[in-house]
Structure 1
Amino acid sequence: MSRLRVIPTYRHGHERLYVCLTDGRHVAWYDREAARVNLLSEDHREAVLDALGPFLTGQVAVGPPPVPTPAELARLSLHPDDDLAPNRPGEALLVALERDPGPAHRLRPDPRRRALEAEQTVGEALDRLDGAGWHALHSIPLPGGDRVHHLLIGPGGLYALHAVHARKQKATVADPMLTLGRRDPVPLLRAVRASAARASYALTAEVRPVLCLLAPAAVNVTAPPRGVRVVTDADLPELARQGGVLKPADVEALHAMARDRNTWARV
């Protein structure tokens, strides 16, 4: 039999080791997190285990790949143009800035770039929760030109997060108003609740609204916001500690539904 090659791959921080023939065809892969070697052909069992020997640790299950779940089948059948999972944090702002970067020299910073920094920082923090059983989707377009900045789905439920750049500014929350520094207050919490309500309607599941402030100097809540959780980007890891709401199968099914662009067309 031809010598097998072991090729490591990384996706969302998870490692898989693919075992390939010399012509590049896969015959198996080792999922470290699941502690399982998935064989595409029993004919190669011994050779695959020999090739993976230096990489295997502890008890490892060996057998054919598991049957895809309904959520996995839905993901596999989703057209790439309709899949929102590849969206980068701040995707809509990135596209807008590419199309119209604005003048090279400005008297004041472009507010779109501050908004982009907020969405990117919050989005990257949410993506790091992936290993704890959570999924994050970014810049979900809604009919009428609105967006859900970030949707987080995991054991603790669903959260629609709205990111706001507040670096080195005092943030005052008095429902429905948000005031940053000396700026005029804006009724932002109404929009945060509205986005979460539209997400709840689209997914037929409770989606809790979250206002996430990027690096504020201080946060003062004078009137507790109705139903809206107010956090900073430093608080986001706390969301991963929430649990007891959704089972893993429910998380995967809701993620498969949420990543489909067509899900949001009716809200």
Structure 2
Amino acid sequence: MSGLRVVPTWRHGRERLYVCGPDGGNVAWYDRETGRVNLMGEDREEDVLAALKPFLTGPVTVGPPPVPTPAELARLTLHPDDDLAPNRPGEALLVAIDRDPGPVHRLRPDPRRRALTAEQTVGEALDRLEGAGWHTLHSLPLPGGDRIHHLLIGPGGLFAVHALYARKQRLHVADPMITLGRREPEPLLRRLRAEADRASYALTAEVRPVLAPVGPADVRLTAPPRGIRVLQEPELTTLARQGGVLKPADVEALHAMARDRNTWGRV
């Protein structure tokens, strides 16, 4: 008996099977999507393939792990406190509500919780694009207290997506103003352009703004907003249908740069 055991894991919708030794250390891993078995040491190849045999779904390539790309090396050297990739949708709001839940009895719902619902709804929709060559980062802090709700990076380019809670309310968009229900109009589109411009400066790549209203009763546009797409949550998947802008290596490099907190401190 080799004493090897197979431990399946999931990350961003992709399955990876790790082969562990008796001491718990990784001996190899099998990536089903690429059909490759990566060996930490060639002397265990026969034992590894025997342990993986029930899990193999077709022909596989066997060899040492690929050489890390510059983007992967940057990720490996990034301090955990500076890594923004683990941020959950609405991370900043989750932290704020945890620190100050507010009064138990309120005449009106806490607007932070409505905003959180919007960011979580949009964030979950964008996270479902992972595994198709796209990455999403959430709640990216900007100097001055501003935030980019979601940054989508993939073959079709970069998008700064702003979630807006609009449940059962009419949304009227008249660039640069938006009017939600009976509220006073506000120049939200001007702010979204400014945030996208700051992101473009930080990443030295074009970032396009997207307004994502969640649950509106109706969306009315006086005219298409200049340079901004307005997409409801079910329509966000259309962003992933675009391609031909960035190569896979460029996507990974921009993702590695964007997940570093220090990238955003100079905008």
Q: TM class, shorter-chain normalised?
A: over 0.9
Q: Tell me what 2:181 maps to.
A: 181
Alignment of 1:74-223 (within 5 A): 74-223=74-223
Structure 1 window deviating more from structure 2 (139-148 vs 11-20): it is 11-20
Post-superposition shift, 1:246? 0.3
Q: Name 2:21's counterpart in structure 1.
A: 21
Q: Is the CA contact (8 Å cut-off) linking 2:6 and 2:51 kept in structure 1?
A: yes
The unaligned stretches of length 5 or more in structure 1 are none
Give the equivalent residue in structure 2 for 1:5.
5
Deviation sequence 1:225-246 (CA, Å, 0-9, x none): 1111111111011111111100
Contact 2:7–2:20 (CA under 8 A) maintained in structure 1:
yes
Query: Is 1:235 aligned to 2:235, yes or no?
Result: yes
d(CA) in 2 for partners of 1:186 and 1:34? 48
2-structure distance, mates of 1:14, 1:26: 18
Question: Which 4+ stretches in 1 moved above 6 angstroms?
Answer: none
* Rounded Cα–Cα distance in structure 2 between residues aligned with 1:20 and 1:184: 60
- SS of 1:59's equivalent? coil
Q: State the alpha-carbon separation in 1 of the partners of residues 38 and 2 from structure 2.
A: 19
Q: Using the alignment, how far apart are the partners of 1:41 and 1:153 within structure 2?
A: 35
| Residues paired across the two proteins, number | 267
Segment of structure 1 superposing worse, 218-227 or 242-251: 218-227
Distance in 1 separating the partners of 2:221 and 2:149 = 22
Whether the 8 Å CA contact 2:2–2:47 is kept in 1: the answer is no
Partner letter of residue 168 of structure 1?
Answer: K
TM-score (norm 1): 0.98
Q: Which secondary structure state, in structure 2, belongs to the residue aligned with residue 223 of structure 1?
A: coil
The within-5 A match list for 1:239-250 is 239-250=239-250
Q: Percent identity?
A: 78
Deviation (angstroms), 1:212: 0.6
String of CA shifts for 1:170-219, please: whole Å, max 9, x gaps. 11100011111111111100011010000000000000010110011111
The letter of the residue matching 1:45 is: E
TM value normalised by structure 2: 0.98
For residue 222 of structure 2, give the secondary structure of its aligned residue in structure 1. strand
The letter of the residue matching 2:76 is: L
Question: In 1, distance between residues paired with 2:106 and 2:12?
Answer: 37
Distance 1:198 1:221 in 2: 26
Tell me which residue corresponds to 2:54.
Answer: 54
Deviations 1:26-72 (A, max 9, x none): 11000111110000011000111111011111221100000000000
Q: Which whole-Å CA distance do the structure 2 matches of 1:238 and 1:206 have between them?
A: 19
Partner Cα separation in structure 2 for residue 153 and residue 142 of structure 1: 18
Considering only aligned residues, what root-mean-square deviation do their CA atoms show, in Å? 0.8
Q: Secondary structure at the match of 2:103?
A: coil
Asked if the contact 2:136–2:151 (Cα under 8 Å) also holds between the matched residues in 1, the reply is yes
What's the offset of the Cα at 1:23?
Answer: 1.5
Partners in 1 of 2:9 and 2:231 — Cα distance?
A: 35
Instruction: Report SS of the residue matched to 1:189.
Output: helix
Secondary structure, in 3 states, of the residue corresponding to 2:119? helix
Match of 1:226 in 2: 226
Residue 38 (structure 1) aligned with residue 38 (structure 2): yes
Measure how far apart 1:2 and its partner are.
3.1
| Separation (CA, whole Å) in 2 of partners of 1:120 and 1:252 | 24
Q: Distance in 2 between matches of 1:223 and 1:40?
A: 58
SS state at 1:19 partner? strand
- Give, in angstroms, the shift of residue 168 of structure 1: 1.0
Q: Could you tell me which runs of 5 or more consecutive residues in structure 2 were left unpaired when the two chains were aligned.
A: none
